[in-house]
Structure 1
Amino acid sequence: MEQLTADFGGAGVVGTGVGPVLEKFDGISRIAVLRGGGLGDLLFAVPAIAALKAAYPGADVTLLGTPIHEQVVSATVGPIDRVRVLPYSEGVRPGDENPAGLEHFFAEMRAERFDLAVQLHGGGRYSNPFLLRLGARHTVGMRTVDAASLERTVPYLYYQSEPLRALEVAGFAGAPPIDLEARLAPSASLDEDLVNNEAQALVVIHPGATDPRRRWPAERFAEVAASCAADGCQVLIVGDSSEQPLAERTAELAAVSSPSMVRSVAGQLDVSGLVALLARCTVMVANDSGPRHLAQALGTPTVGIYWAGNVINAAALGRSLHRVHASWITKCRSCGIDVTQVGWTAPRCSHNDSLVEDIAVTAVYEDVRGLTARSPRLRGR
């Protein structure tokens, strides 16, 4: 209990949330939230940012994030007022550091006179010292035992739902949850030239993932796409420019039987276009990836392919609109290393064998069919 009191910074518990909800801070009008990383990382933080926005009405919320975050915020309606792109900094935004540029960034941030800075970027080994240099009156965030302390800190343990972890941090800042998962709306409409109005439904597939071990084989996605096309659905394969070969291969494999109903649009959409497409489609099928999280945030039903460890951290909480297919493999197929140990507990081996390739196509397709039949986005509804 003594450690808990120390972490709370002496604040009293005033409500309940994912964890304790502590007393609110006084005089909060400017809030900075630190969350680097990719698309999914941003979406994990959105519920916590929405909670902060509700707890401190009228406060301006600045996300310290990455270029993809800035693009998503511009393409959606949500709780973030503005994005300031992070400079390259070890453990916060990987890249070639520019010491003079970093100093300039922190000088500008201190001039913002933030009342509250919230760290949602990992265990704090690098992100807590970064946050402290902002000069905010109050600081809240996560902390491993070797990280610098903040005014109020939540213990960081790897296997925890990322949105719920962020909400626990928001609770320490005095902000109870208003949503457990991200909710966004598109700010632009879809290019109608993408849509085949003759099709019964629009299914979007994303076969990519940052970690190749999280990727279901293209052949499996192609089988699902071909079956959906045979049912009269239009199928669009999405991805960024680096995923274009994978998306095109998936589309080619699927289009053998239904060439007019399946095609790749990978590398052809900007973030605003992807947002509009995901907000319009009937169902999305994807690996554990940023676009799947984005579809979920936009209210679109999803079928996700997951390694079991990532189910804990990143899967949708509900099953009415979102289905999860999990692989329970715990060892690398090539070398046998325990893949459940991550980060500081064990090094990652050099192998990229898929951990999810054994997930059955029939089970995934049946979930796509079921969600398509009930989707709020089915044509004519």
Structure 2
Amino acid sequence: MKLPTDIKKIIVFRALQLGDMLCHIPAMRALRHAYPNASITLAGLPWAKSFTERFNNYFDDFIWFPGFPGLPEQPVDPVLFASFLNKVQNRHFDLALQMQGNGTIVNAMIALFEAHYTAGFFLPDDYAPNLEYFLAYPDHGSEIERHLLLMDYLGIPSQGTQLEFPITAQDQYDYETLQLALAPKQYVCIHPGSRGAWRQWPVEHFAALADYAVECGFKAAITGTREEADIVAAVIGQMREPAINLAGLTNLGAMGILIKNAYALISNCTGVSHMAAAFQTPSIVISMDGEPQRWGPLNKKLHRTINWLESDDFDAVKKQAIDLLSVSQVSL
């Protein structure tokens, strides 16, 4: 069902982490193209304020979402939620877009936004605020394509599936202050961490691939957040070759430049893998969640996604690394 063309104020609800947010940018690009003069507000987790600032071509404002019963990302504060809801209702949005997921938990909440039009995903046996603008959740394909299907359902043409990660002057400054001895395309990023420990490939496997990268003439940059310092140290401790420990040293923007300039990335299926897809930096992505077709990069030639739950064969992954990190491609 096509949305009206005179919509001026839009709120998008997606209260998730970095990788999830990057995957819905193609849909936001389509939305902005369809409504170039509309004010688009993101309702999301506290960290996502900086996300809207980075993607200010698509977002004009941000409202912090303080949690809701059933959503695991943060604890619920009823007082703060009441304040959030009051703020949203007082904005009198023309359109509220539910882009959190299939809607089983949040569709009733989205109805409380009291937007003139409400749209999003739903499951046929569950509640939807209306049946005109709610699409039965497509439980297939990539996360990128699922959100573009919603845009198409609402009469909003796709502007392509390419991911983005804008780099700012501040990002460049933050990267340069690290004074890393890493020439572009002469190093490989190894990112062994992930938000959930159950999504982390064994450190000895990361170490073996990092060693192989060094043997091919690359430097090995082992990256992670401050909270992932232990797993980064564990990888380096398993290595035979020297490595650069960058745990906790890079903010998100500097990490973006590091991935952009890398020859390749080797990581779990997490936020950095989507950054590599945005920069078209070749990668090996280890999927530990059983949904490689949903979360793996779309370009299967540039990005090799390994479904570890289906085939836990390290030698098969090593073959991918041999193909990706051919010694003939690096200047020694």
1:264 aligns with 2:248: no
Letter in 1 for 2:39: D
Is the contact made by 1:43 and 1:293 (CA closer than 8 Å) also made in structure 2?
yes
Deviation at 1:224, TM superposition (A): 1.1
Q: Which string of whole-angstrom CA distances, capped at 9 and with x for unpartnered residues, describes residues 18-65 of structure 1?
A: xxxxx2313111111111121111012111111101111111221111
Alpha-carbon displacement from aligned partner over 1:141-169 (angstroms, at most 9, x marks no partner): 11113432133111125443211111111
CA separation of 1:248/1:126 partners in 2, compared to 1, >3 Å: closer, same or farther?
A: same
Mapping 1:3-42, distance limit 5 Å: 11=1, 23-42=2-21
Q: Which residue of 2 aligns with 1:62?
A: 41
1:237 corresponding residue in structure 2: 222
Cα deviation per residue 1:204-238 (whole Å; 9 max; x = unaligned)?
A: 11112234333221111111111111222122111
TM score, norm. by length of structure 1: 0.77
Structure 2 runs not aligned, ≥5 long: none
Name the residue aligned to 2:188: 203
Distance 1:278 1:108 in 2: 38
Query: Letter of the aligned partner of 2:48 in structure 1?
Result: H
What amino acid does structure 1 have at the position aligned with 2:195? Answer: T
Residues 48 and 128 (structure 1), Cα distance of their counterparts in 2 relative to 1, 3 Å cut? same
Q: Deviations over 1:53-104 (max 9, x none)?
A: 1111111221111133333343466523333221121234643322221111
**What is the count of residue pairs matched by the alignment?**
325
- 1:217 equivalent among 199, 202, 208: 202
Amino acid at match of 2:20: D
Q: Please state whether the residue corresponding to 1:118 is helix, strand or coil.
A: strand
TM-score normalised by L of structure 2: 0.88
Q: Cα gap change, 1:47/1:107 in structure 2, threshold over 3 Å: closer, same or farther?
A: same
Partner of 2:318: 362
**How well do the aligned residues superpose, as a CA RMSD in angstroms?**
2.6
Output the amino acid matched with 1:208.
G
Q: Which of 175, 178, 193 is the aligned partner of 2:159?
A: 178
- Structure 1 gaps of 5+ residues are 1-10, 12-22, 330-354
Letter in 1 for 2:298: L
Alignment of 1:131-150 (within 5 A): 131-150=110-129
**Offset of 1:356 from its aligned partner?**
4.5
Query: Is this contact kept in 1: 2:185–2:262, CA < 8 A?
Result: no
In structure 2, the partner of 1:191 is 176
Q: Percent identity?
A: 25
Question: SS of 2:266's equivalent?
Answer: strand
Letter in 2 for 1:364: Q
Whether 1:273 aligns to 2:254 is yes
Map of 1:3 onto structure 2: none
1:81–1:110: structure 2 CA closer, same or farther, 3 Å change rule? same
1:101 counterpart = 2:80: yes
Aligned to 1:51: 30
